[in-house]
Structure 1
């Protein structure tokens, strides 16, 4: 898996992992790569989760999202920080007998690395094929940018 040797989910340090857009903001043109076109054509399902009392525990996802994947339920999701395509965190998913969907094994590691706590708001964007982009906001509702905080430019 890409990024496995980097340990603990740290980004690669590339410009895309420093809170900047991973691809140009110009609209797709006929000369755009096929992967850019495929990403824009995919149906993206977005939802918000507010972390409650135990942000490190198993997290329940939106019922509408669980219904969206019905018939094609993933056993694992690959979470990644929005705007950073360098590392994906594998997180096991399970469904209970009522069809409720939860993030399980791997979630605690993701939450610890990103210092998530009660009151944080996460926006999830499901991009298909078990790929999930996550934006994280703190209790002040300001977005957290993890890899942009440690620039090596100490002049």
Structure 2
């Protein structure tokens, strides 16, 4: 049975910390700036058609809506894939022209999870995970590490 962190009196520390003083909890979310750096999409429909990105990410870009983004596949060298971006007037953002080429080259298919990390300057770093939740790797000039069996 796992032990819990308790004081000598048998009571937990509670929210006040060790001395029972003021809380060190972060401020409520409504007072923090909106920063969306990472998100993912799940490919439920045709992987080659335009893809909707999360509304929170589109909201984050409000006022700075790019006409293009540049996708960089993690561990696939410095190549950037140019993808047109569409906004539908209802605060939804879509990856459009160029997404099909990126999808084909990186094996995006039904059931894939596509992880994006916003790097600024309209660049998104991308990782693709297949339906088994394992990451897909791509051809590059760097060697992919292999796992060694332990005995």
Identify whether the pair has TM-score above 0.5, normalized to the shorter chain: yes
The SS at the match of 1:111 is helix
1:49 to 41, 54, 64: 41
Shift of 1:149: 9.9
Shift of 1:81: 0.7
The size of the alignment, in residue pairs, is 109
The SS at the match of 1:110 is helix
Contact 1:44–1:128 (8 Å) recurs in 2: no
Q: Specify the alignment match of 1:16 in structure 2.
A: none
1:125 to 117, 122, 126: 117
The SS at the match of 1:108 is helix
**Residues 106-146 of structure 1 deviation map (CA, whole Å, 9 limit, x = unaligned):** 00000011121110001100111011100110010000110
Q: Which has the higher contact order (CA 8 A, sep 6+)?
A: 1
Cα distance in 2 between the residues matched to 1:67 and 1:78? 19
Q: Specify the alignment match of 2:90 in structure 1.
A: 98
Cα distance in 1 between the residues matched to 2:85 and 2:36? 19
Superposition TM-score, scaled by structure 1 size: 0.66
Cα distance in 2 between the residues matched to 1:117 and 1:149? 24
The 3 A distance-change label for structure 1 pair 67 and 44 is: closer
Between structures 1 and 2, the one with greater helix share: 1
Cα distance in 2 between the residues matched to 1:74 and 1:116? 23
Gaps of 5+ in 2: 1-34, 144-151
**Residues 75-100 of structure 1 deviation map (CA, whole Å, 9 limit, x = unaligned):** 10000112344100000001002110
1:61-76 equivalences in 2 (<5 Å): 61-76=53-68
Which range moves more in the overlay, 79-88 or 131-140? Answer: 79-88
Cα distance in 2 between the residues matched to 1:128 and 1:47? 14
2:107 to 99, 115, 123: 115
Cα distance in 2 between the residues matched to 1:85 and 1:69? 26
Superposition TM-score, scaled by structure 2 size: 0.67
